[in-house]
Chain A
Amino acid sequence: MNSTHTFLSTPPFIESLIKKKILGKLMLILLAAVVVWRMGTALVENPSLFLQQVINGLQLGFVYALIALGYTMVYGIVRLINFAHGDVFMVGAFMSFYAISRLQLHTWPSKLFPNMNSMLSVGIGSITVVILSMIVCALMAITIERVAYKPLRSAARISALITAIGVSFFLEYFGALPFVFSANYITYKRPFEVTTWVANGEGVQTLARGIEVPANSVIFSNIAVLIIVASIILMVLLQYTVTRTKIGKAMRAVAYDKQTAQLMGINVNMIISITFAIGAALAGAAGMLYAIAFPQVVFWMGIIPGLKSFVAAVLGGIGSIPGALVGALIMGQAETLSAAYISTPMRDAIAFSILIIVLLVRPTGIFGEATREKA
């Protein structure tokens, strides 16, 4: 395709159009206009329903955000797409299931201090369970990192990726064995009762069971509140760790340049392990929150949320913590709103189309570094 002899024939006005990349932009603008129009009419038709769907999307988006952080941190440091991360999330959900249903761990404060306020005791009990599953996941991630990824750190990146896929298969099918988690659907027992509130012009009241939602109001449950609050707390903690502490500084240094970091006296292996552990701990917490929201646990439950969170991390710019949050919230809204207003069966296709389109416009994601060293 040698074109040296032909470029004299382009008329100048077409050339100026080409320089403005007019056609591609036109297509994107058209697509955006269709989406905005559809959402706009939906909002005008029934604002409370639209708001309700946005709340549903937020709930989902914040869970994705917690998982996405693990992907983004690991990728930022070792440039590995850790496909086993979704399965760590699954293990987190199962750990909290065992802690609640088998060990009754969430009831220990009320057993020790029978006079304690019930809200407080359930709160402390649940926090214990979350911390337990976070620790289990963190330990598991460190083991996986040491056994499967560390020996391959100097090999080609693709070898580590294949290993990650292998670890993911292993966790799933080992978990599916009858004496581990079993391959059955298991109903997850929530550690607390669900309360639903109605919010409208007259304020906020609790919604009793079997009562219809009044018109022009939105409802939200304590589950949505819990997920959003817990996610924000964990993310603020993470952001603080990464930007304000010594370990965070070391992590950033390792991400920037491993060899130089080592020369500066940073224990690179330990920092990488810590990164894996923090990511896994967040996934463990996300596992419990997800299981509370969608109360069923099964060995493959990590695959789909894992994939979507990974996509969210890429969407936001992989390696960036605020990017992971923004990407996850976009994924949550894309999924819920396309299920609500465009097409339920196509919602995954729409979410992935958004990913591809965002990558075409911003090749490194929304918050990705604009100039990236040659891959």
Chain B
Amino acid sequence: MFKKIDRNKLIFFGGLIGFYLVIQVLQLMGIVTSFLSTILSMGTVLAIVSLGLNLIYGFNGQFSLGQWGFYAIGAYSAADITYRWSNNQDTSALLVLLFSVILVGGAIMILYRTLSRLRGLDALSAFVIYLLATFGFVFLSIKLGGLLTPAMNSALGALPEWLSFTIVYILAVLIAGLVAAEISFLFGLPVLTLGSDYFGIATLGFSIIVKVLLDNSDTLLGFEEMKGARGMIGIPKVDDWGWFAVFAFFMIVVVVTRNLLHSSFGRAIISVREDEIAAKAMGIDVGFYKTLTFVIGSLFAGLAGGLYAHVNAFLHPDTFNFIRSFDPLIVVVLGGLGSMTGTIFASYAYLLVVEWLLRQILPPGFENWRFVVFPVILLIMMLLKPNGLFGNFEMPFLRQLLPPLKKKPAAEAAAAPQEAAQ
């Protein structure tokens, strides 16, 4: 067992844990202010969202602007679960969503196997079948959840408070990811048939629809506690170990992404990016891999949303408006399409520059200049390094640890994302 873990992996994970420990120690010493540690948490959250987008866009070539919408869905689902538990000792949201994700997830898997037998079934018809199944199972879950809520309330209530909250919190974040993933499956099914730019625009539309729904979450959707466009308050803030939880999820996402990319799945999605027709000719189920990548990417967005809700303890639909939805895209492109370390580095760099460095550099009273200076930096970056900081390589000095995914001459590799984007 241990023989399989080679030295490179040890250094890689050691580096991540070391990074965490250094931050932790600095925090204890008071060198990292609460403001800065908030930025670090947010940077980690942004890194998770962007890793998801990098998977969809960087590695699979699907130009998606919907990542922010799934992030919003995750944030609000997780927040609703913990809000109801910590304010009213009510597990209804937890149970209903838990049953929903399990039942709908199961239904989707079974239906996918059944429907793939029906050759020539168009995406829209399949979508209708999935949608009806989803409605049915969600309805069932609401009934089931309602039945079991009192029992669950007392069961969780019997546990010590910290333990019950920890359970609810971790479940909430996981459910947030799964909710986002399942919605992305439903939405992606018909929309993934569109061409690349049109797919991007349809996903942008999705983000905006989610934002409008959140604006009306209290009136039209009937979630009083979300308070619509007024912003959701009263979400429990996970303060003491929040940073640990965020970092732990981040590590899991990094490991999962890395392993996925180094498996046959990774090679398949990259081949889809490079040339869909050739991939199809090689026997790769293009539709399946596109959908799966989209779902996994959205899963990460949902997880990140759940984490964000408890770092910030305040959610507002304006955070999820379409202008902010460019954030992960900017991060992914700046870091380099198809470079995980690039994305991670760019997430922290982006927030540090916008929220912290520019505040430090600009004299007081010139805070308005932040967004005048930032686009100029962005422009210069794009002109100097049109392929992003790390191109589609992993971090240069880690290259030996994480070998480039394609064994190609450098010039050819640099040209690849251009083709993919066109």
Contacts and interface: CB of A to CB of B under 8 A. Distances in A.
Among B117, B201, B220, B329, max chain A CB count under 10 A is at: B201
Interface string A172-205: 1110111000010000000000000000000000
Classify the secondary structure of A's interface with B. helix
Contacts of A343: 220
Nearest to A343: B220
B39 interface: no
Interface string A145-174: 000100110011111001101110110111
A263 interface: no
A167 B374 CA distance: 10
B215 to A, nearest CB: 7
A327 B190 CA distance: 22
A311 B198 contact: no
Contact of A349 (B63, B208, B285, B372): B208
Given A174-B372, A356-B202, A372-B195, A24 B128 contact: yes
Interface stretch (B16-24, B148-156, B382-390, B403-411): B382-390
A352 B205 CA distance: 5
A177 B121 contact: no
Given A7-B117, A23-B129, A156 B421 contact: yes
Nearest to B210: A349
Classify the secondary structure of B's interface with A. helix
A27 interface: yes
A111 B369 CA distance: 41
A348 B208 contact: yes
A158 B368 contact: no
Contacts, number: 182
Interface residues of B, number: 66
A236 interface: no
Contacts of B376: 166, 170
A84 to B, nearest CB: 10
A297 B202 CA distance: 30
Interface in B307-342: 322-323, 326, 329-330, 333-334, 337
A363 B116 contact: no
B263 interface: no
Interface residues of A, number: 64
A375 B202 contact: no
A353 B198 contact: no
A24 B118 CA distance: 15
A159 B386 contact: yes
A222 B370 CA distance: 42
Given A1-B288, A163-B378, A356-B205, 15 more contacts: A1-B285, A3-B117, A10-B117, A18-B125, A24-B122, A24-B128, A156-B421, A157-B418, A163-B382, A166-B375, A352-B205, A355-B201, A355-B202, A355-B205, A356-B206
Interface of A: 1-3, 6-7, 9-10, 14-15, 18-19, 21-28, 79, 81, 148, 151-152, 155-159, 162-163, 165-167, 169-170, 172-174, 176-178, 183, 303, 307, 311, 314, 318, 343, 345-346, 348-349, 352-353, 355-356, 359-360, 363-364, 372, 374-375
